[in-house]
Chain A
């Protein structure tokens, strides 16, 4: 799979450094007059090039954890380091630029831009990193081809099935060659057969692109593919099972 040279991870099989380091990260939300602790001092490291899964019951803090790793939320205490960058040190625009270059997102509800075609949705992240038009076109089309949607390039999201939309979302997350892809319940809105094919696709592109995937999920199918499983409950890390590196 194509990847921008400048963004290529400096890793090798078996010696991958941690792409995510969380050190005593806590997150407290204010709900009316009550403080709600979503995460209670979690520390973890996620090596690169892994298919990692965060599991836990609803309200356990999975999504909060993913939001912090994805640099779209800030911890109440502790430090978050992603791709070797301490996120606390970055201002708002720098964090946006950091996300644009290094992190891809796949959402449960696909969250495609409804006024853009499949091709334009995939092209959009490349605009954010200022890629020239010819290279943008080549990459977006190659990515759509890779997820099997070259024929649907001109179709708008409302003309695609749920599985096709999630494929577009996967292409959009991977097109810029990020070091990290975060997916929050990516199969929750899909039937089991479509979900299985999406998991298969993500696993395949992960192996080809050597990108780190981190999922928050309840889906047993997805867990069966995981290299790393982090289990959290009530905002605390209660288990970590590690498979072999690729």
Chain B
């Protein structure tokens, strides 16, 4: 084997220019695969981080909520949710995996701003949450893909009347001036023919008078939120809008309202039992997700609880689509690189066989078996692949490090703000090993055909070759 490697290596040096060109093709393939792979890995990490910060790894729902809850979230409240949370937290398996466990209430309704000169209303999609736990969730950054998060003081555990709205919704409700939003054209006046609008406005205003949580005075702009309670009765609360938050997706931006859980529960359940639509679990490590999910399902079964668990991938199909799209592009690039390497190595090895035909005849005459000839050329192909892939991987590490230190930023799909542009090559050893092995194997495979031709040469014909 030592002699085989020695001869193979020296033969590569013998045709240095040809070997360099072929090795360069392999290196370019490795470089392209690793840089794009590093970029894709970083996109995946960024998307996952973004999702996990917003909606955690897992969410516990009442059975049926995932498919039907959007129509009437209040009908799918989890009874005694605090007991369920304690049950999960105290479990010896899943408990230690959890970083944050927090209840959440989804709701739909109509948001209206009828203060002063403005009369505007719009349907909204709301979420009730515990502000301090929301801040803790947003600090999750397992992959180092997020900018440091500063706690959001616009929401407070101590003031349930405060809330945030999407920038789009703030514009529609005429909150541009008090919130200091740019790009706000004046609202059009309501149509005169719409004779039902004043009645709706009056209904909301009347109901708001009965809202016990409405504070008497505040410098923040206020909107009224109307929703149907779990019992089907209309209910209204007043929300002090302490700020707006871009949501990245326009449909969500035009409808989003975040509020304190207590306010959301008051709106949806009134004086009845306060439930929640979901219990969000953020894990310390994403790799625990399958185990945590399986354990939760077992806990619910053991305790006869009609609950189901969904992960962030199911709750945000966009994540899965992006992962699938980039994975397909990566596979396509890998395939193209593989084909280029395949033909480059076949060409080089075929030329090597032709040039060394007499030498093949000589060593066959000396007693080397056909398999020995085959092995000789296969080892040469493998060496070209291994050396080229190693150089490509080295270059990929170097270029990735340069880009990572250049301070570039970009806005990933679904994000509302720019994040650092990084190529995660160094943090993905499996990607590097996979690309290296893949290209080395393709180069080895490419040498099979010429090596077989060399092995099958009749000895006398090979010796006669000039």
Chain A interfacial positions (CB closer than 8 Å to B): 67, 70, 72-73, 92-93, 96-101, 103, 105, 107, 109, 111, 113-116, 120, 124-125, 127-129, 172
Contacts and interface: CB of A to CB of B under 8 A. Distances in A.
Given A116-B7, A124-B3, A99 B460 contact: no
B369 interface: yes
B364 to A, nearest CB: 7
Q: Is the interface of B mostly helix, strand, loop or mixed?
A: helix
A114 B11 CA distance: 9
Given A93-B371, A120-B3, 15 more contacts: A72-B459, A73-B459, A73-B460, A93-B369, A93-B370, A98-B367, A99-B366, A100-B366, A100-B367, A111-B358, A111-B362, A116-B6, A128-B366, A128-B367, A128-B368
Interface in B5-41: 6-7, 10-11, 13-14
A115 B10 contact: yes
Nearest to A64: B460
B234 to A, nearest CB: 90
Nearest to B14: A115
B365 interface: yes
A67 B363 CA distance: 14
B359 interface: yes
A135 B383 CA distance: 30
Contacts of A99: 365-367
A113 B359 contact: yes
B437 interface: no
Interface residues of B, number: 24
B463 interface: yes
Give the 4 A-B residue pairs with the shortest CB-CB distance, closest first. A100-B367, A115-B10, A72-B459, A111-B362
B463 A96 contact: no
A72 B370 contact: no
Interface string B431-466: 000000000000000000000000000111001000
Nearest to A128: B367
Contacts of B7: 113, 115-116
Nearest to A173: B366
A111 B359 contact: yes
A101 B367 contact: yes
Contacts of B359: 111, 113-114
Given A72-B463, A73-B460, A124-B3, A115 B367 contact: no
B236 to A, nearest CB: 89
Please indicate which of the listed interface residues B363, B365, B463 has the most CB atoms of chain A within 10 Å of its own CB.
B365
Contact of A125 (B358, B367, B369, B371): B367
B362 A96 contact: no
14 contacts: A70-B365, A72-B364, A72-B365, A72-B460, A93-B370, A97-B369, A99-B365, A105-B362, A105-B365, A111-B358, A111-B359, A113-B7, A113-B362, A113-B363
A240 B460 CA distance: 26
Contacts of B458: 73
Contacts of A120: 3, 6
A124 B366 contact: yes
A105 to B, nearest CB: 5
